[in-house]
Amino acid sequence: MELSSILPIARQELTVAIRNKWTVIFAFVFGSLVLAISYFGTMTAGDIGFQGFNRTTASLLSLVLYLIPLVALMMGTQSFLRNEGEDEMLFSQPVSRSEVLAGKLLGLFAAMTTATFVGFGLGGIVIATQTDAEGFLGYPVFVLLSLILALVFLSLSMLAAVASQRRTKAFGIALLLWFFFVILYDLLVLGGSLLLKERSANYFIFASLFGNPVDMVRVAGLLSMKGGEVFGAAGAALLKFLGGFGQAIAALVAGLIVWTVLPILASFRLLRDQDI
Amino acid sequence: MIEVEGLTKTFREFSAVAGVSFTVRQGETFALLGPNGSGKSTILKSIAGLIKPSSGGISIGGIDALKRPQEARKLLSYLPQRVGFHDCLTAQEVLKFYCRLRKLPPSRIEDVVHGSEFNFNGFSEKRVSELSGGMKQKLGLAVACLADAPILLLDEPTVSLDPAGAIAFRKFLNSLKEKGKTIVFTSHVLADVEMLADRVAVLVDGKLTALVTIEELRLRIADKRQSLEEIYLDYAKTS
């Protein structure tokens, strides 16, 4: 693969995402979320006003785990789907099919990164001016994890679009993926663990963490922001299972890399044998 | 320049192209003529590397196009039947994108848009969404001409053009012919075939039923006092 072939495609994809207002809308949504959560987050306690980074980041993490996969899947599926005349022009150029997919993925990721940086960045600046800087270091980690999650689901959207080819089927698969990883998976794991003995159930739950990138980002976020103590005894057992704090973070990052790379490789392989 | 050997393409049970073989010589203008579903576009797309043949071989400039598709595609430019670009981009941005993709100097855009006999002027700053079907086709042709590749593959190139556009287009293709370009095109428009082609392959139901020079066709028109349409129908019937 040649970077000189990938970059023009990525650049065009970014331009299209910005012109189609996707990036602007998501930046606005992300920014609004940060400010709303920070300002209204303690309303139920009868308090109103900006909270610091610690509380805001923890609340945002839960919301982002729903929102980012959905945004990435929709945006990615829309872009990776076939557009007859456009694809015929593009794929008849002296570039490989993998380079086209890689370029599109890079461009979409750049668009998501722009939206995330602008939205969370501006929101973060407002919080920083209104509150103290306590817990500030956790905020960039949260933004980084959001981006990793976006990349995982962009690559999954690529696989959904390449595998299905048809618009309705591709969006159906994308929504199914979102539902499975964000809603259903944890219920299945909990249900499955009830069928096992306590020790086996623990191992099953810990191992199942690596079967869902959303859970991996959730655990990585909580670990990196608050350390293992946030989970109590379960957290201590998880850290023991993974070999300690450093190893846990490394294993989760490695797992997320695998979750990004495998769908990309599968998409390359599928598209190689397809007719355009 | 292009060798197609025993090309077969099957979509599930349907045989779109069945064992078609022909050679296109350098500098030749070669027409693929046939009714809808005769396999013309499938052959052209196979040469462009968009469709994987079920069997057979394609060689472009001595390069095995099935084993080394990227290298083979450096020698050609392809214009699809239905041209498509992102609606939110301007024509100029589309041209710049393909210029970058083919690693060409930006000056090529000026050469193509203003230096050719085919009038590409007047739409470079317009967004694709504002272009008519004919203008999009012109933009597609401009993209295809950017690389100055020795081979041009054109799928029903005059289908979206108005009569004036079609005449200008034929004139433009003739100028490319004079420059020694090898051109392969599909068409329903027999006038295009008669005016542009050196040789014609007639396809019916995915099979090659005739491979004749345009002179042979003209002789037959003179001898039998038949029109080109009638001769074409004869070929189709006898297949």
Residues B219 and B202: beta-carbon distance below 8 Å: no
In a domain, B12, yes or no: yes
Indicate yes or no: CB of A16 within 8 angstroms of CB of B52: no
Shared domain for B60 and B162, answered yes or no, is: yes
Domain co-membership, B138 together with B157: no
**Nearest by CB to A89, which of B70, B71, B140?**
B140
Query: d(Cα A212, Cα A182) in Å, to the nearest integer?
Result: 9
Q: How does pLDDT run across B37-88, given as a tens digit for each residue?
A: 889 999 999 999 999 999 999 999 999 999 999 999 999 999 998 899 999 9
Q: Does residue B80 fall inside a structural domain?
A: no
Are A111 and A72 within 8 A, CB to CB?
no
Q: Are residues B188 and B233 in the same domain?
A: yes
Map out the domains of chain A as residue ranges: 3-272
Alpha-carbon torsion (B158, B162, B168, B171), positive or negative = positive
Pick from B4-13, B116-125, B180-189, B195-204: least confident: B116-125
Same-domain check for residues B30 and B48? yes
Q: Which of A3, A4, A275 to mutate to test the interface with B (most CBs of B within 10 A)?
A: A275
Residue A234 CA to residue B115 CA, distance in Å, equals 73
Kindly state whether residues B127 and B165 are assigned to the same domain: no
Percent of chain A with pLDDT over 90: 55
Are B130 and B160 found together in one domain?
Answer: no
Q: How confident is the model at residue B19 (pLDDT cuts 50, 70, 90)?
A: very high
Q: Residue range A263-275: average pLDDT?
A: 95
Contact at CB, B70 and A96, closer than 8 angstroms: yes
A91 pLDDT band, cuts 50/70/90, is very high
Q: Is B212 helix (H, G, I), strand (E, B) or coil?
A: strand
CATH of the domain at B179: 3.40.50.300
Q: Chain B residue with minimal CA distance to A87?
A: B84
Tell me the pLDDT tens digit for each residue of B81-115: 889 999 999 999 999 999 999 999 999 988 888 76
Listing DSSP states for B11-77 in one string gives ETTEEEEEEEEEEE-TT-EEEEE--TTSSHHHHHHHHTTSS--SEEEEEETTEETTTSHHHHHTTEE
Query: In this structure, are B228 and B157 located in the same domain?
Result: yes
Residue A134 pLDDT: 73
Number of CB atoms found within 10 A of residue B140's CB: 26
Indicate whether B48 and B163 sit together in one domain. yes
**What was the pLDDT predicted at B127?**
92
Give per-residue pLDDT as tens, A1-52. 889 999 999 999 999 999 988 889 999 999 998 888 888 877 766 777 778 7
Nearest CA in chain B to A97: B70
ipTM confidence score: 0.90
In this predicted structure, the answer to whether residue A87 has a pLDDT above a threshold of 60 is yes
Domain range for residue B96?
A: 85-148
What is the distance between the alpha carbons of residues B135 and B138, in angstroms, rounded to a whole number? 5
* Same domain, residue pair B69 and B155: yes
Same domain, B115 and B140: yes
Q: Same domain, yes or no, for B21 and B53?
A: yes
Residues B142 and B185 in one domain: no
* Burial (Cβ within 10 Å: 0-12, 13-18, ≥19) of residue B239: middle
Number of folded domains that form chain B: 2
Residue A104: predicted pLDDT = 97
Task: State pLDDT tens for residues A45-81.
Answer: 677 777 877 778 888 888 899 999 999 999 999 999 9
Cβ-Cβ contacts under 8 Å, A269 against chain B: none
